Amino acid sequence: MTLTTKVALSAIFMCAVFASDAAAQVTFKDKRLTIVIGYGVGGTYHQYAQLFGRHLNRFLPGNPTIVVQTMPGAGGLNMLNHAASQMPADGSYVFVPPDTMVLLQLTGTSGIRFDARQFGYIGTGDQQNNIWVVRAAAAASLDDLRKREVIMGHSGPGSTGLMIPAIARELLGLKVKLIGGYQGSRDTIIAMERGEIDGAVFGWETWITAVPQWFERGKEFAVPILQVGLAPDPDVSTLPMLSDLAPKADRPIVDLFGMIGLIGRSLALPPGVPKSYLETYRSAFQKMLKDPEYIEEAKRTKLRVIPVSGDELASAIERAINATDAAVIDRARAIASQK
């Protein structure tokens, strides 16, 4: 072994030791950590944040207290801007990114002051495809939507409730009218129940947690007709996917919208948090997701565990932002701005 090789190996060994020591020195003893969501209470963002908060502390060094804070506004954009510039970079704050985060950045939604590539991704607790549901009285299939118009409710520009029907309308030739102004899933679902609108788009967990009786066999009030994601949702695996129905030439934009499912219900750190803290959080998060107590509570509260590692999530987000063709971005921007 040459002297140069010995020196190089020694340097690598010392770096590994220092990294290990840094991770070992991370402790949250007597600390209070905060999980921030960009929406109000009651929806799956809040439910997952609460679930993470009740279990993650058991796997973090020092067993800190964890609380959940809501910061609603602009479909999660207010919270993302806050995370990018005002959250402390000392590991005391983490947040649940909106699943539309990458689309918001790429389409240049007004008011954006964040770069998703700068966040530290801890991991995804559950991948969530977007499921298009309509009242059975209004339609029962995509073919029905080609024949007659349905009214879809959403919470505003940048929301999946607007963007998914808008892109499907364009790619599949559906007859859709979009109505905005609803304050989250609960408000939108109530509007469906009243017959004010015909349908909406949310993750399957939102639907099955809020109104499971709607889908009881033989007495369906509403039916799922389409899903958008990178792979079929295991709970509705036979439901048609937009990626299978859209023209092949449109696959890049469909895959871009599919990123929403991969982000799902995840956790991230604001920019500038030391790598040792990110590694500590990632390790704790992965242990939590495999923990029988966590899995049992998730099952009891009808919250799924379909994880993605922090490394995988970070790489996918970086690829989507760096490699998406400008023409695809322009088209996504046009779709996102539709009314």
Summarised one tens digit per residue, pLDDT across range 178-216 is 998 887 788 999 999 999 999 999 989 889 889 999 999
* pTM tops 0.85: no
What homologous superfamily does CATH list for 130-259? Answer: Periplasmic binding protein-like II (3.40.190.10)
What's the per-residue H, E or C state across the chain?
CCHHHHHHHHHHHHHHHHHHHHHHHCCCCCCEEEEEECCCCCCHHHHHHHHHHHHHHHHCCCCCEEEEEECCCHHHHHHHHHHHHCCCCCCCEEEECCCCHHHHHHCCCCCCCCCHHHCEEEEEEECCCEEEEEECCCCCCHHHHHHCCEEEECCCCCCHHHHHHHHHHHHHCCCEEEECCCCHHHHHHHHHHHCCCCEEEEEHHHHHHHCHHHHCCCCCCEEEEEEECCCCCHHHCCCCEHHHHCCHHHHHHHHHHHHHHHHCEEEEECCCCCHHHHHHHHHHHHHHHHCHHHHHHHHHCCCCCECEEHHHHHHHHHHHHHHCCHHHHHHHHHHHCCC
Q: Stretch 313-332: mean pLDDT, rounded?
A: 92
Residue 247 phi, psi dihedral angles, 5° rounding: -55, 145
Buried/exposed 55-72: b ≥16 CB within 10 Å, e otherwise: bbbebbeeebebebeebb
Confidence of residue 24 (pLDDT cuts 50, 70, 90): low
Percentage of the chain modeled with pLDDT above 90 = 70
Confidence of residue 4 (pLDDT cuts 50, 70, 90): very low
Tokens of 258: 């599919």
Confidence of residue 133 (pLDDT cuts 50, 70, 90): very high
- As a whole number of angstroms, the distance between CA 249 and CA 261 comes to 21
Radius of gyration of the chain (CA): 21
Mean pLDDT of the residues in the chain: 89
Exposed, middle or buried by CB within 10 Å (0-12, 13-18, 19+), for 15?
Answer: exposed
Q: For residue 159, what are the CA distances in angstroms to 89, 100, 166, 255, 257?
A: 28, 7, 11, 17, 12
As annotated, the residues of the chain forming the CATH 3.40.190.150 domain(s) are 6-127+264-323
Residue 264 phi, psi dihedral angles, 5° rounding: 45, -130
pLDDT at 295: 98
Confidence of residue 19 (pLDDT cuts 50, 70, 90): very low
Find, among 321, 318, 317, 293, the residue nearest to 305 by Cα. Answer: 293
For domain 6-127+264-323, give its CATH number from 3.30.230.70, 3.40.50.1100, 3.40.190.150, 3.10.180.10: 3.40.190.150
Q: Stretch 40-53: mean pLDDT, rounded?
A: 92
Confidence of residue 108 (pLDDT cuts 50, 70, 90): confident
As annotated, the residues of the chain forming the CATH 3.40.190.10 domain(s) are 130-259
Q: Could you tell me how far CA 302 lies from the centroid of its own chain?
A: 17
pLDDT at 5: 40
Tokens of 60: 């973090």
Confidence of residue 276 (pLDDT cuts 50, 70, 90): very high
